[in-house]
Structure 1
């Protein structure tokens, strides 16, 4: 867990610093005075006047650079920027030449878009480098030897273990792991494929089905590659170890009931929770039998041998090719963010699946893996760009909305209105943060 938290912390630290640098650079470019540039908050967020002290600070020119004690976010304090922390007495004063509010609308627009622009560019650059160094690994549906293993939601819809899903709404399936995401985000209405016995199927997908898939997605993959019941590793303190199971063992039967695939094995173990079962195993060329206890959760304590490495397709990219694919992946990620927002408001109970830091920690690799780290950081950078672009007062998108209104109507939104709107926006954002970060309680 520590490694997961450390990876998320480093990723956010990098992205927040670069985001704030985007605002800082444009502010300096247009000769605005920047009073502070801080990584983390030097106050008890969101209370700007409570426990004000930095861990480190150094003033260079007009700007105080520092590290706050509250390990969350960061900020730049630009002179004349109307926000929820601004002294009300300044609002009614005459704008000074070094203040942001005295600058032309197009300059203020670029200052407020600075963080979003940097996050977008950084996300694309990271995708570019990840693809150039590591390439891309996918599991095509055509590479499955035994079809798909499906969860209880898929079974309730009419899918079976061993099925091959060939298309979604007539569009060919390219990757196994994209199937549930495509169904939810693209509001797929029909799943087509072939059962293990060769008969074709066409299964309708309702809003209730999409809601069930989304609800289960954190705990189950909906569909995954079906694989042989084979032992990869044995927990030394487990029932499997006590039963003398070894890596490489193949399961043949449980209580004389034949099993070949992992899903068949799990079914039998779940039917025999908190009991002892007779296992028939194939070890090399020898068939052996052993007695093994099953926990109350249907677990015996081994790691199965899942996807065979040869089934994955690795695509390598040239320097230029990686850039083109990186831009494509980045744009798809932005579109996916927009679709997720639509899903929250259109799919039944989708809002309950909104996650916060706990959910993000769970997505990190359990060991420090640079490929996984940078891929997640690229995704998070683009997610931050999208979220900050939302027209909510206090967020960058709120300022952008007010400035665009001014540029279109030629009427400047009053500083007083922006000040109070930002305070309302702060309450909205805090409420959303609290809701998102209590997902572990809701689920």
Structure 2
């Protein structure tokens, strides 16, 4: 429960910041061009609001329905569907009275703010924390793969060399590169030979659904640092400082081998070999039904692999942050393109609020929070540019039509288009959140 609350709090804070900044982008350009803004709201306020205050011409408030936010601009057909106001003659301060180029900037203001904010976050993150990653060349023991990894043709012990014969510096970007660049093959070293692992569209569909596929293979080293509640190991006589050497007379080179063998004895008796004060002891015990000994070990990947750290000064962080923002935008557009490739079944991975919230860590971490907020900001910017009426991109599409043809679309047409767009968006929201529910029921969330 605590994990869910922490993730929910991060999601709400992140979206609240992004919604306010997005709407401020519209608000800023509207005021710049002397266009009246009647309302500026975080969240929607059908029937009533949680808080509101009027300053000048604008009512500022917080609604009760946490599905975004809005600014109500005078003389504009938007989600408020204020038809009565549109029947009156245009006023000089209204949106519809402004030149097309001004209306275009007002509509693009929110998207521009989202992109700008994401770039600023990346600059700040690189300046404050730098960049740390695991080089692919440092994964010297090969990889451990799960069922999905095995299904696409990878094997535990493989050493990743290249993707489509291109070296990937950052180990954690190997699978994203395969998916986003629609790679045809992964080159691996297997038993001393170079092998091509071909990637099909069906494989891409599997990768899109999977949270993890592979991880670095870690040598077996297990020193008891503590115990879990109701620990079978503690009951059998294990002590802090003991180093586990083997199981039922077997020794292990890698942790995955130990883990695989241990799972065979869930709820059964085993003979554990441990080293204590320089001597080996054989210790019989009965495992719990979860197949665990019930010990705590303090081991990190940094104990086995050499990570690379890049620190940035203030001025160096600016181009680096912008570059990261541009690359993140490109990567998301590549991912978005997969939705139009039915054989990858990317549409099945579309998620709602639970999916978005689940990308945040279970404990509050400002580094992760700001990275995720920057990523979501770019997603919001791109999604808002889609040419769907009711989104900024829909308004921009009609404005481009007006600028090219010299004719405004009729107000009746815009009203119907707005309604159609809102219905489509509602359907997408329902579909995405239904996917979340199905994943939870199937235990694949």
* TM-score normalised by structure 2 residue count: 0.91
Q: How do 1:344-383 and structure 2 match up within 5 A?
A: 344-346=339-341, 347-383=343-379
Aligned-partner Cα distance in 1 for 2:276–2:417: 70
Kept in 2: contact 1:26–1:111 (CA 8 A) = yes
| Corresponding position of 2:442 | none
Q: Which moved more, 1:226-235 or 1:238-247?
A: 238-247
- Out of 206, 211, 219, the residue aligned to residue 205 of structure 2 is 211
| Corresponding position of 2:21 | 18
Does 1:432 pair with 2:423?
Answer: no
Q: 1:308 to 1:288 in 2, by over 3 A?
A: farther
Q: How do 1:30-429 and structure 2 match up within 5 A?
A: 30-43=33-46, 52-195=47-190, 197-215=191-209, 217-218=210-211, 221-229=212-220, 230=222, 234-245=227-238, 250-282=243-275, 285-302=278-295, 305-308=299-302, 311-346=306-341, 347-429=343-425
Q: 1:110 to 1:234 in 2, by over 3 A?
A: farther
Q: Secondary structure at the match of 2:188?
A: strand
Deviation at 1:109, TM superposition (A): 0.7
Q: Secondary structure at the match of 2:301?
A: coil
Deviation string 1:336-383 (CA, Å, 9 cap, x unpaired) is 111111112314322111122212222212222111111111111111
Q: Which moved more, 1:361-370 or 1:14-23?
A: 361-370
Aligned-partner Cα distance in 1 for 2:257–2:148: 17
| Corresponding position of 1:48 | none
Kept in 2: contact 1:234–1:245 (CA 8 A) = no
Q: 1:291 to 1:14 in 2, by over 3 A?
A: farther
- Aligned residue pairs total 431
Q: Secondary structure at the match of 1:436?
A: helix
Structure 1 gaps, min length 5? 44-51
Kept in 2: contact 1:176–1:223 (CA 8 A) = no
Aligned-partner Cα distance in 1 for 2:183–2:295: 36
Deviation string 1:263-312 (CA, Å, 9 cap, x unpaired) is 11221133333433333334564433334444555444456624125621
Kept in 2: contact 1:233–1:303 (CA 8 A) = yes
Q: 1:103 to 1:372 in 2, by over 3 A?
A: same
Q: 1:292 to 1:140 in 2, by over 3 A?
A: farther
Deviation string 1:112-137 (CA, Å, 9 cap, x unpaired) is 11110000000000000100110001
Q: Which moved more, 1:241-250 or 1:433-442?
A: 241-250
Q: Secondary structure at the match of 1:53?
A: strand
Q: Secondary structure at the match of 1:351?
A: helix
Q: 1:202 to 1:386 in 2, by over 3 A?
A: same
Q: 1:406 to 1:249 in 2, by over 3 A?
A: farther
Deviation at 1:425, TM superposition (A): 1.1
Q: Secondary structure at the match of 2:283?
A: strand
Kept in 2: contact 1:250–1:283 (CA 8 A) = yes
Coordinate RMSD, CA, aligned: 2.1
Deviation string 1:312-343 (CA, Å, 9 cap, x unpaired) is 11110121221111111101111111111111
Q: Secondary structure at the match of 1:365?
A: coil
Deviation at 1:224, TM superposition (A): 1.0
Kept in 1: contact 2:140–2:159 (CA 8 A) = no
Q: Which moved more, 1:315-324 or 1:118-127?
A: 315-324
Q: Which moved more, 1:165-174 or 1:307-316?
A: 307-316
Aligned-partner Cα distance in 2 for 1:423–1:75: 16
Structure 2 gaps, min length 5? 440-445
